[in-house]
Amino acid sequence: MADAFLGSFARLMASKPELVRVERKEMDESFAEIVIYADKNDTGKLIGKDGKMINSLKTVISGYKAKNGTSYRITVKSNDE
């Protein structure tokens, strides 16, 4: 559910929403990594000035931990990587 929210949000922010994709990797039963892949120019928008946008997203997603007990790490990468 957290990955679906992040995907929708990233597509709204991106100049090229068709290039945005989200992958969820389960590390163990209580930890998952969500990787947002976007166009190189859109990664800056998703991270924000001084990392404020990505930190805000991390704060929102931390609320999911209260619901299902899973901690999340959010990473933004360029499609080139």
Domains of the chain: 2-78 (3.30.300.20)
**In Å, how far are 14, 24, 62 from 66, measured between CA atoms?**
29, 19, 8
**Res. 6: pLDDT tops 70:** yes
The pLDDT confidence band at residue 66, using thresholds 50, 70 and 90, is confident
CA-nearest of 48, 45, 72 to 61 is 72
**Res. 59: pLDDT tops 80:** yes
Contact of 76 with 54, CB cutoff 8 Å: yes
The contacts of residue 49 (CB under 8 Å, 6+ apart) are none
pLDDT in tens, 18-39: 999 999 999 998 899 999 999 9
pLDDT confidence of residue 64: 81
DSSP character for 13? H
Give the global pTM: 0.87
Q: Hey, how many other C-beta atoms are within 10 angstroms of the C-beta on 39? A: 18
**Res. 81: pLDDT tops 80:** no
